[in-house]
Chain A
Amino acid sequence: MTARITLLDEARIGLRSLIDRVEDLAAPTLRLGVTGLSRAGKTVFTTALIHALIRGGRLPVFEAANAGRIASAELKPQPDDAVPRFSYEDHLAQIVEARRWPASTTRISELRLVIRYAPPRGGLRTLTLDLVDYPGEWLLDLPLLDMSFADFSRTSLALARDPARAILAAPFLAALAASQPSGPENETTARTLAAAFTQYLAACRGERVAMSLLPPGRFLMPGDLEGSPALTFAPLDLPGDAKPAAGSLAAMMERRFEAYKSAVVRPFFRDHFARLDRQIVLVDALSALNAGPAALADLERALDSILAAFRLGRNSLVSTLFRPRIERVLFAATKADHLHHTSHDRLEAILQRLVERALGRAKAEGALFDVAALSAVRATREASVTRGGQVLPAIVGTPEAGQEVAGHVFDGNEEVGVFPGDLPLVPDGLFEPGGGGFRGLASADGRDADFRFVRFRPPPGIGAGAPLPHIRLDRALQFLLGDRLA
């Protein structure tokens, strides 16, 4: 993957990391990347993590906090002035006061936390923690660096013509059929095609289908690049690998694709991604299970290409200086509060199965890995329901307005108990090729789905000053930060 990172980029990465290391000598710094595909819960996780460190909280498994060794943690101005600040205060207020989940991450943001802690042997030290929150979709762009426009067109059109997506892609495919790649370049055609392509990608994200592998990532979250030529292209039906004639539509699209790569993808890789020390990848496996086998297979593909982007492994002296690797990666199945805790092990097994290949690679490289089912802000309580002699493990919470189960639409105020269905003991059945593993909302009318994970609102009665309820956030903290605080 990194073959196409240019030598110049490589040199800049090396120089940057050397500077980082020198700064480290003065003030030890840890760059923690928080990522995940959209709606995986990145913002909520980051908010809860900051809140837990600043306010303290019930973190029994996080040894440093439990032993009382963390003296203080406070927000400090971040090092990169050109990157937006993660607006922790707003997100927290929204969760706590409005009882709404924050809007999704559309861009990279950063926040710096300075933790004063006492090592077990005594004394008082400082660890600077830089949190980098970025959309996982951007990682899906990294493989594009290796692709030519022809390759990109071929793979993305093949995906669009896949039976699971063909219906959603129909308008785009029609627009594509109406265009002439070898015809003269035309801004209107380009914009029509790009708009249809974007719409198709957006449609793939709906709850009923929940697709994940949707490059190029910026089409869905353009940020300030919206409308720029670099985002106004679409894959075309190209006859072969032959160079398109100058002045043709294909040539124009190719130029823009290259511009996308150099203006969007490469800077992200160079300035942010290559500098991370630790990484947490949040995965919303439940949405994929909700939607059906096609979504799950898609999620698996997407995770695969995300994970291929990481430089994993234990750092040697040289690599520490010039090409730092990510030493620890935590895969977290978020929204574990949508399940009874007795099913968490099964959810972890599913996640493990999803990231299996990456796990093998990371182990070979010597990086540390963990898989956990967590919930950064726990929105539900647990209950058991006796029905016809069976005891069903259920969860109780307030579903978001508009959520629907078996014909019942919730108003956003009603508190109900939900039994989401049994996850299989062995996850392999879910991944049956051919999509026969289970039924999701995408099949038929969704009435006979095997699972129904309702989205819940944040719990009532939590205050900004009090610790937030969570599931295994402390375990995540222990894995990601524990060794640096020891």
Chain B
Amino acid sequence: MAEQRGRRPEVFRLEDAGLTLAPAEALPEATPEDLAPIVPAPPRSRFGVTLGGLFWTALGGLVSLGTGLAVTRLVEDLFARAEWLGAVGLAFAGLFAVAVLALIAREALGLARLSSLDTLRARAADALITDDRPEAEGVARALIALAKENPRLARARGDLTTHLGAIIDGADLVRLTERTLMAPLDAQARAMVSDAAKRVSVVTAVSPRAAVDLFFVLYTAVTLTRRLAELYGGRPGFLGMIRLGRHVLSHLAVTGGMAAGDGLVQQILGHGIAARLSARLGEGVVNGLLTARLGLAAIAVTRPMPFAALPAPRLSDVAAGLIRKAEAEDAPQPGRRRAGGADGE
């Protein structure tokens, strides 16, 4: 046992050279400027070559080679015609190259941001389970840095910063962070999804062609996902949107089955009631519910923290207006029944 003994108790005078007092707990006036910058997510190590990767790499290489060749030819031709024409062409080519580089950089940044959100969420979940204080503090600081761009979170950010110096356990700190920073964003996200769902259902109900509402649903889904990602600090680019879309769809596939209990019954019921009124209206409700569910999936994949202290939004939260509306329409109004049926067909 003796060899395991820790260090001996000791007493020090305050004047002792080696003694450093810990800073007092931060006052509420902490400046947001001196917060730590966001830590970029460590690149994921991927080993092995996939067929798809090979295909896209080869194609990308060929296309860029072809483009390069074409541009070079074009500039050479221009030079052959006239000196000044060539110079202008060269300048345009240079601008093009710069723009392409900038675009690529932006896309890469967007992707990195997205994956940093994923990493953050994983770290937060980790800290919740292990109750690890340093990890939780890292998560909180990263989120504070992320929230820097959202002016509506200024107060929440300041509050949270003052609590970082206090003695709070890891899991509690993660929950506190979630309650402080995520609550306003969650409310906004919920409103966004709910609005989008309502819009889709209305447009579907009144649109003259199926193609129109198909296009509109797609468009709404994409913008909704993008806006949610931006709300939670993601700002994805084009490639980021594609990845996010895949994420959302796979999340939907996973949770779709689980949500069947609460969702499907309502969907069928809602559809049934509405459909008796009018097929178009029923389709509108279904499309609205689809959008709502898509929005929920998008929230789940873009939110940088898991739902721990706050309740995760459920379909009934965001689609309540939709269903209520359908039910209100369904209320026995003999005079309207026929009119409803006529307008749909």
Contact = CB atoms under 8 A, between A and B. Distances in A.
Contact of A417 (B6, B8, B12, B175): B12
A450 to B, nearest CB: 6
A471 B14 contact: no
A420 B9 contact: yes
Contact of A58 (B12, B22, B166): B166
A419 to B, nearest CB: 5
Interface string B6-48: 1111111110101111101100000000000000000000000
Contacts of B16: 385, 417
A421 interface: yes
Contact of B167 (A394, A416, A471, A478): A471
Nearest to A406: B11
Interface centre among B9, B25, B168 (most CB of A within 10 A): B9
A343 to B, nearest CB: 10
A383 interface: yes
Nearest to A421: B9
A405 B8 contact: no
A61 B22 contact: no
A452 interface: yes
Contacts of A469: 25
B172 interface: yes
Given A385-B18, A396-B21, A417-B19, A60 B13 contact: no
A341 B167 contact: yes
Contacts of A437: 1
Nearest to A417: B12
B179 interface: yes
A344 interface: yes
B9 A472 contact: no
A421 B1 contact: no
B308 to A, nearest CB: 12
Contact of A408 (B6, B11, B14): B11
A381 B5 contact: no
A162 interface: no
Contact of A418 (B11, B167, B175): B11
Interface in A47-105: 58, 60-61, 63, 66-67
Contact of A60 (B10, B20, B163): B163
Contacts, number: 110
B1 A429 contact: yes
A449 interface: yes
B156 to A, nearest CB: 11
A420 B8 CA distance: 8
B18 A421 contact: no
Given A405-B11, A421-B9, A383 B167 contact: no
Nearest to A422: B6
Interface residues of A, number: 47
B169 interface: yes
B309 interface: yes
Contacts of A396: 14, 19, 21
B112 interface: no
Contact of A63 (B7, B25, B163, B179): B179
A60 B168 contact: yes
Interface string B158-196: 000001001111001001100110000000000000000
B4 interface: yes
Contact of A436 (B1, B6, B14, B21): B1
Contacts of B1: 429, 432, 436-438
Contact of B9 (A63, A341, A419): A419
Chain B interface size band reads 20 to 34
B153 to A, nearest CB: 15
A382 interface: yes
A381 B22 CA distance: 7
Interface in A453-468: 454
A145 B272 CA distance: 66
B127 to A, nearest CB: 14
A61 B172 contact: yes
Given A63-B179, A472-B169, A418 B12 contact: yes
Interface in B137-162: none
A420 B166 CA distance: 21
A421 B6 contact: yes
A418 B9 contact: yes
Interface in A342-360: 344
A475 B172 contact: yes
Contacts of A381: 21-22, 24
A248 interface: no
B176 A419 contact: no
A6 interface: no
Given A386-B18, A421-B7, A422-B6, A66 B176 contact: yes
A74 to B, nearest CB: 26
Contacts of A418: 9-12
Contacts of A432: 1
A360 B80 CA distance: 89
A243 interface: no
A351 to B, nearest CB: 14
A344 B167 CA distance: 10
Given A61-B168, A417-B12, A437-B1, A384 B6 contact: no
A114 B180 CA distance: 27
B307 to A, nearest CB: 15
A392 B10 contact: yes
B14 A415 contact: yes
B114 to A, nearest CB: 30
Contacts of A451: 9
Given A429-B1, A471-B167, A66 B10 contact: no
B18 A416 contact: no
Closest 3 CB pairs of A and B: A422-B6, A386-B18, A452-B9
16 contacts: A58-B163, A61-B168, A63-B179, A381-B24, A385-B20, A394-B10, A396-B19, A405-B9, A417-B12, A417-B19, A419-B11, A421-B6, A424-B6, A438-B1, A451-B9, A478-B172
